[in-house]
Amino acid sequence: MSASMRRHELRDVNASGGAIRDEQWRRFLLPEGLSFWAAAAIAFLAFAANAAVSPLYRVYQVQFGFSATTLTSLFTVYIVVLLVTLLFFGSLSDQVGRRPVLLAGLAVGAVGCGVFLGAHGVGSLFAARALQGVAVGLISGAASAAMLDLRPAGAAAPLVSSVAPTGGQALGALGSSVLAQYAPAPTHFVWWVLLGAFLAGVAAVAAMPEPGTRRMGRPSSLRPQIRVPPEARGAFAVAAPCLVAVWGLAGFYLSLGPSLAAQQTRSDNLTWGGVLILLFTGLGAAGSVALAKREPSRVMLGGCLVLIAGAVVTFSSIRTGTPAVFFVGTAVAGLGFGPAFMGAYRVVVALAVPSDRAGLITAVYIVSYLATGIPAVIGGIATSRYGLSETALVYLVVVAALAAVAVILLISRIRGAERAVRRTNCPDPPPGPGTVPPCPPT
């Protein structure tokens, strides 16, 4: 037998052996259905870990002796790092695969939990929040894409993809507040639980098949597109005050909300802070899901009106010192928050041609993130100077005024907007309708 024939035989044997090994390896991987639920659970975990710190801000504030300005800055550093991560690495999983990005995000999230466990001052808290921003930025984009790749047939998949981040945020805050109140070591136990969950997530991703197709490109392809095309500028101007109102209020609730709940209930029980965030984000998601198929401009209009009503009720409860009405007002505001954002998002995006849509959605998310972080810091500064109740009252007035401006502008052009929406394929609602927007598009 010639040397050439022997080389061909060896190559065939190696190829068949490699195919057998690949087949044996695939037997140990999770099926696609379970992988979808694993990706959803990881998205849930990332946002749960982010929201878990909100009820603990008060505990850290007493422990380390910092001001309300520092408290809101801790919230804002997470928003800034998250936004930067999403803008520049939101599409990274398209190039290197979903699994490597998920593993990196889970590893960073686990390190963040470790920093919280060893926190000995404000600097450690800032570092941990920055790590959480990176983790959520990496996980949210890759997990959303993985769920899209893996989603099984049926109506449940889009719903799960949409509410997984929201459910994480709502239940993460509630679970953290309950553990902090009733479990030992209030600033440690929850982080041990979440650390274990992140490590379990690493094991789950290691057992998943790679759901995406890698499309290697140059580093410049990760540069974000940010553009408001001319045909959408009018709608963007109408939606902007709505976006600032809803996400400004969300930032306030997620940073100073638990402190305000403690003040209104006159109770040191940390659970009230978790309940407050659960009502706001959970009902926001429920309202979005219930109205997902309705005409966008009317959803935005109704959401803004309900948001105004919630702000008025909450304002009255703070003025009169009635805790039950305070939580009712928060619930009403939450019911307006989700639909107002979803409607504004769809009204704007529907007016762009597909080639302009990615840059426009990114612009919507940038406004939303900045509105979440910047007013929260302003609120913290005002709280340090004028007190929490007075700051909350002014905050609610500004939110209601911005929502009212959006209503007036929307009514003035609602008929034209309806005709435009009917002429254009209506885009899908944004993922995670009751939480900070998870990711700009790739």
pLDDT of residue 428: 59
15 located within any domain: no
> CATH number for the domain including 116?
1.20.1250.20
Answer yes or no: do 152 and 264 share one domain. Answer: no
What gap in Å lies between CA 353 and CA 358, rounded to an integer?
10
Give the pLDDT band (50/70/90) at residue 265. Answer: very high
Alpha-carbon distances of 297 from 302, 333, 417, 418, 435, rounded to whole Å: 9, 19, 7, 7, 20
Residue type, 338: G
* Tens-digit pLDDT profile for residues 224-261: 777 888 888 888 999 999 999 999 999 999 999 999 99
Q: For 13-40, what is each residue's pLDDT tens digit?
A: 454 544 444 454 455 577 777 888 898 8
Burial of 156 (0-12, 13-18, 19+ CB in 10 A): exposed
Q: Which two tokens stand for residue 136?
A: 């959520």
- Do 184 and 256 belong to one domain? no
Kindly state whether residue 33 falls inside one of the protein's structural domains.
Answer: yes
Average the pLDDT over 49-56 and give the result. 92
- Cβ burial 403-426 (10 Å sphere, 16+ → b, else e): bbbbbebbeebbeebeebbeeeee
Query: Does residue 145 sit in the same domain as residue 292?
Result: no
As to burial, measured by CB atoms within 10 angstroms (0-12 exposed, 13-18 middle, 19+ buried), residue 34 is middle
User: Is residue 4 one of the residues assigned to a domain?
Assistant: no
Residue 229: which region, alpha, beta or left (left: phi > 0; alpha: psi -120 to 50)?
Answer: beta
Distance CA(319)–CA(389), nearest Å, equals: 8
Domain holding 318, by residue range, is 225-437
**pLDDT value of residue 441:** 46
CA–CA separation, 436 and 429 (whole Å): 14
Say yes or no: 83 and 188 in one domain: yes
Q: Are residues 252 and 147 in the same domain?
A: no
Q: How many CB atoms lie within 10 A of CB 157?
A: 16
Residues 239 and 166 in one domain: no
Instruction: Determine, yes or no, domain membership for 119.
Output: yes
Indicate the range of 133-142, 162-171, 238-247, 429-438 predicted with least confidence: 429-438
Same domain (yes/no): 87, 175: yes
Q: What is the largest CA-CA distance in the chain?
A: 98
Residues 144 and 270 in one domain: no
Q: Is residue 355 part of a domain?
A: yes
Does residue 241 share a domain with residue 198?
Answer: no
Whether 164 and 234 share a structural domain: no
User: Please, what is the average pLDDT of the chain?
Assistant: 83
- Rank 65-69, 149-153, 363-367 by mean pLDDT and report only the highest: 65-69
Residues 119 and 93 occupy one common structural domain: yes
